Structure 1
Amino acid sequence: MTLARNRLPKTLGLAVLAAALLASPLVRADEYGDVSQLLRSGKLPEALAKADQYLAGKPKDPQMRFLKGVIQTESGRTPDAIATFTKLTEDYPELPEPYNNLAVLHAGAGQFDKARAALEMAIRTNPSYATAHENLGDVYAKLASQAYSRALQLDSGNTAVQPKLALIRELFSTTAKSGVAAARPAGTAVAAAPAAARPPATAPATAAPAPAVAAAPSAAPAATPSAAAAPSAPAATAAGGGSKDVEAAVLAWAAAWSSKDMGGYLGAYGKEFDPPGSQSRRDWEEERRARIVGKNRIAVRVSDLQVSVNGNRAVARFKQAYSADALNVSSRKTLELVKSGERWMIVRESTGA
């Protein structure tokens, strides 16, 4: 079992973080594309040199800094990569991907407590980030394996521990044969983040692999300051008026988020909504309010909206381009809705699905 790896699509570059409010978007795209192409071609020194040249003029650019961390990871410069991703978490604590990549690097070095802490931060930042949850499960499995092994060393006659350890080792063996599913990129413009650093060669063959790296959000065009959600040709997959009502509910939710209308935003979630993680509904609402109201400007754009309706339940899948102050992130989003009276209410949401 290994932490989920992000693989490079054949025609796309590495997934990177995107910053808004930077000049010349086309020039930036070319710069990122050039560095990504060098990286995919295995020309790591050239890629790093070009990234450093770009960052000399724009040292705060999160997208290129993330890409630099990828290059350092692929080059085997783990301490440098850890420093790069750590600084990103300090400068952009809203982003879960740098935490997730830190976890991969720590796990690859056998530092599973540090990996667990980083993944818990990723999940706290984005409770619906599926890859971080998967990786955290892998880390817990590794920690359990270590604890059971230690228990047997201290008491070799403990018959209760042996079946547990055997079960975990069997799980590791099965996963190693089938391979762990790669984390899916967050949108069509995203390529996957780098693979996790491999565990040291001295690690026991039965040891659980390190957790997998989470995909980073894709680079998205700089959003306009407009607060309204701007869908681009939504295509419903279900016939009838029900799908149109669901589309309207999704766009109203995005518009309320964009305009920081907390009544409209929180009111889009049904009473059955179960906040991700272990948060209570009240704590989740307070956290969402703090994150949204505290921003100077927010724009949420919905595109490629696809809706399927089955009776009083519906699923909406779309691309979400989120822009807040100097941050711009694109991802895939899935909302599950239930019809309550005449309204469609959100009961579950997930990112990257």
Structure 2
Amino acid sequence: MPSILTEFHLLKARKLCLSRKLLQLYCGTLTLVFIGITPASAYVSPQAIESLLLKGDSKAALAQAESLKKDLSPIDYANTKASALLMLGRWQEAANLLEPLYEKDRANLLVANNYAVALWGMDKKEQARKVLETALNSTSPAYRSLRKIYSAQAAEAYAKALNEKNSAPTPILMAASTTGADLVDKPVVVAQAPKAPAPGPASAPATPSSLAAAPIAQAPKTSPLATPVLEAPPAQVAATEKDTAPSPQELEMITANIDNWVKAWSSKNVKSYLAFYSPSFSPDKGLSYSDWLEQRKQRVAKPGAINVEISIMKVVKSKSKIVVTFRQKYSSANVNTNSVKCLEWVNDKGTWLIAREFNK
């Protein structure tokens, strides 16, 4: 008969064996649990497709994108397939694929670039320009600052070529937030330039230097608005002085002010929005200034999102005023309008401000 000590060792061995089996079973259960929580199919990299694109094999890249459609992330699939379509000159198909992504995220530079390429191929050149400019303006403060520097250098070179004093204002480079937006609250007076000389007889054309002498307060900004048409109004409007196009500096400042006016309005920044209006503003429809002011405060600050988009049609300088005609699209929770409007700007102590606003 086995000794008591032998039985003790046998019992200990059985317990150890049982413990090992339980541990194996536990580990197997954990493995099953981990397998259960692992995604059934993780997205794969589009690198293989991009390699084909870089080699110029667009047809193979298109076929590869289609075969991996279920394994690619939606944006990788759209971008790689659209790139292949663009290389094949299939502009409309690429635009249809990219447009939803662009509308969802207009700051995505890759999507914006490829969408613009598609539009350009469809001969929608102005729309392509707007797409790229909007993307750059919304994501790249460095781009906006560089444009300001280029503009200042061009004005200086132009003045030297004409042996004239450079009357263009020194640009202000804005600080930027993490979202890429310029940190500006209202128009900032840079400096008040000397007053322009008194206009001569009606027959005497305005000189470039006299047109550029008006003081401009708003720091230059690249405007995503459509390029305006500089057009003089009918001859019968001018009585004692011919209407002209504004100078390049004036045009830049006015379009920048309009751009910031639209942004302040769309973002419901009442203080910034009202800062663009002159104290001598004359409201339309017979309203008093105080009634108009209270009405605008309520409407701009009302609950709910609003969206304002404008496209400049023409800019005319008449005497000391600049009149901008534009198409305005406005939408809110309960209002949706599409109209042609006019803003009349005056130089108020060095700052271009709105003196009149009316529908055409």
Asked whether the two chains share a fold, i.e. TM above 0.5, the reply is no
TM-score normalised according to structure 1 size: 0.33
Q: TM-score, normalised by structure 2?
A: 0.32
